[in-house]
Amino acid sequence: METIDLKISLKHIKPPIWRQIRISSASSLLDLHFVIQHAFGWTNSHLFIFKIGSMEFVYPPHWEEDAFKFQSAELAILDELIPKLISPGEKFSYVYDMGDNWHHEILIEDIQDTSQPLHGAICLAGARACPPEDVGSLPGYFQLLEDLKRPSSEQFMHTQSWLGYVYDPEAFDLGEVNLYLRDYFKSTQLSDHSLWSQDLPLHHPSIDFVSGWLNQLSPKDREYAQDLAFRKDVVHFLTYVRDHEVKGTKATGNFPLKDIRAIVAGFVNPIVLDQRIGDKIYKLRTEDEVIELLFMHKFLNIGGLILGGENMRWELTRLGEKFLESKPEEQAWFLTKVWFYQFNWEFCYPFYDIELETDIFRFQRPLLKLLERYPIRKPVEIDRLIMDLDRALPGWIRSHRNNNYIQLAKRHFLLAIVIEPFEKFGLIEVVKTEDDDFDFDFNVTYIIMADYGKRLLKYFI
């Protein structure tokens, strides 16, 4: 097994921003792309291109109709390129973000044979933080550095408001980088053996749990975030997975029954797992029967806080560890961000109807703008919400059945996709009737925009 040592530096910046990387020769250029993203702190939000001699490599699915002009970074294996086409002491380039054009110069320092195989890559050394995304290329970055020298200036305050976090150009944490690299390569290995999501989102180490919204929180809002039952349940869930050896079942990767019982017993509102019907008790058989736990399991997996799968141990990622280290309001922000940016809302809809058509992505923005217009602390009937959605987005649910069925489907859909999840994240409160004859949460009659939730919603519209 061979490893390759690379020194990667951002061009035209002094003092230099650089990372020294040791990577397995069996890795692809696409792997190297993700290594650079993690090591520098980029967020993989833009196109990239490698240039080696006269050849150019990209990730074809992202380049669409222009992909034919390039070679595939996913198919380009390092030991087929180095040293066959480019040797130690020579350089090639990596450009990230075709707008800001961040040029990285990659020097091949050494090729080594090793008796201990390296699965993936590690960062050996480095210095300084990469520029913020979308800062405006080199001129914008240099202006940012000037603004940082005048922390009392109006321009500095504007810059900080735009960033949403305190940017430190000298920040670099070698240990943190290697923890993220560990998770990335572990996820690529798991993806071949599991139906669970192993596509970890890229996270800039300094901004995962930071937002401009957090800087404006009142003490009451912080207390509200701390008291959210869903946040507390997530903390309990992650703590349990961290402290116990929880191995996914062979068939589905779900949690074993003993772990299910232990986890839900620690929820703010413990779940009844065994159902009594008449004189007979029907005991829990699988995690799929515990909708609340299954939602959380899927949600945290897609959010990149846990990794695991079929016949494999479920473990916290570095992001999951950072979640537990964060303040309650930061945790609440992160969970809401996952809901809006990463999680597929349709998972929450429990009914399959081949005739029911909904474009969930087209539906989201009008919904949020509508909720944002509702007054704080004033009850809004579910039927009023449906009527307002009909006006704002005609045809948001379509079916070939009769009108009565469509109205029922709209109510079912809103209860499952919007009202119950939004209540979890503290965005709304609900008022329910005392009538126990209602099923499927049809006892929800009103929603109320919470002060906390309305202020938070503005950041996702």
Tens digits of pLDDT across the chain (461 residues): 799 999 999 999 999 999 999 999 999 999 999 999 999 999 999 999 999 999 999 999 999 888 888 999 999 999 999 988 999 999 999 999 999 999 999 999 999 988 777 889 999 999 999 999 999 999 999 999 999 888 888 888 888 778 878 889 999 999 999 999 999 999 988 887 888 988 887 877 777 888 878 888 899 999 999 999 999 999 999 999 999 999 999 999 999 999 999 999 999 999 889 888 888 888 889 999 999 999 999 999 999 999 999 999 999 999 999 999 999 999 999 999 999 999 999 888 866 554 566 778 889 999 999 999 999 999 999 999 999 999 999 888 877 777 777 888 888 889 989 999 999 999 999 988 765 554 445 578 899 998 999 999 988 88
Tell whether 22 and 133 lie within a shared domain: yes
Q: Which residues are CB-neighbours of 162 under 8 A, at least 6 positions away?
A: none
Whether 447 maps to a domain, the answer reads yes
| Other CB atoms within 10 Å distance of the CB of residue 244 | 14
Residue with tokens 């999501």: 197
* C-alpha atoms less than 13 angstroms from C-alpha of 165 in its C-beta half-sphere: 15
Pairing of strands 2-10, 18-24: antiparallel
Tell whether 14 and 115 lie within a shared domain: yes
Tell whether 9 and 145 lie within a shared domain: yes
Tell whether 34 and 181 lie within a shared domain: yes
Tell whether 183 and 215 lie within a shared domain: no
Q: Which residues are CB-neighbours of 278 under 8 A, at least 6 positions away?
A: none
| Other CB atoms within 10 Å distance of the CB of residue 174 | 16
Indicate left, alpha or beta for 59 from its phi (over 0: left) and psi (-120 to 50: alpha). Answer: beta
| Last residue of one domain, picked from the residues 189, 211, 240 | 189
- Measured CA to CA, the distance from residue 324 to residue 335 in angstroms comes to 12
DSSP of 153-197: SHHHHHHHHHHSS---TT---HHHHHHHHHHHHHHHHHTTT-SS-
- Measured CA to CA, the distance from residue 256 to residue 299 in angstroms comes to 18
Tell whether 32 and 165 lie within a shared domain: yes
What DSSP character marks residue 216?
A: G
Whether 348 maps to a domain, the answer reads no
Tell whether 407 and 303 lie within a shared domain: no
Tell whether 154 and 8 lie within a shared domain: yes
CA distances from residue 391 to 46, 146, 371, 384, 386 in whole angstroms, order as listed? 36, 49, 14, 11, 9
Tell whether 146 and 212 lie within a shared domain: no
CATH code: domain of residue 415: 1.10.10
CATH code: domain of residue 48: 3.10.290.30
The dihedral sign for the CA sequence 396, 397, 403, 407: negative
| Last residue of one domain, picked from the residues 167, 189, 211 | 189
287: exposed, middle or buried (Cβ count in 10 Å: 0-12, 13-18, 19+): buried
CA distances from residue 242 to 154, 204, 219, 238 in whole angstroms, order as listed? 44, 23, 30, 6
Structural tokens at position 62: 């992202």
| Last residue of one domain, picked from the residues 135, 159, 189 | 189
> Which segments of 41-198 are extended strands (E)?
48-52, 55-58, 71-72, 91-96, 102-113, 121-127
Tell whether 158 and 127 lie within a shared domain: yes
Whether 155 maps to a domain, the answer reads yes
Whether 339 maps to a domain, the answer reads yes
pTM as predicted: 0.90
Domain count, the chain: 3
Structural tokens at position 140: 């914008």
CB contact at 8 A, 459 and 211: yes
The dihedral sign for the CA sequence 203, 205, 209, 215: negative
Q: Which residues are CB-neighbours of 192 under 8 A, at least 6 positions away?
A: none
Q: Which domain holds residue 317?
A: 198-343
The one-letter code for the residue type at 108 is I
Tell whether 293 and 439 lie within a shared domain: no
Whether 129 maps to a domain, the answer reads yes
CA distances from residue 131 to 60, 177, 310, 341 in whole angstroms, order as listed? 26, 16, 39, 23
Structural tokens at position 216: 């404006």
Q: Cα 102 to chain center, whole Å?
A: 24
CB contact at 8 A, 90 and 118: no
H or E segment and range at residue 9: strand 2-10
Tell whether 202 and 156 lie within a shared domain: no
CA distances from residue 355 to 80, 302, 359, 361, 410 in whole angstroms, order as listed? 51, 28, 13, 18, 13
- Measured CA to CA, the distance from residue 146 to residue 312 in angstroms comes to 50
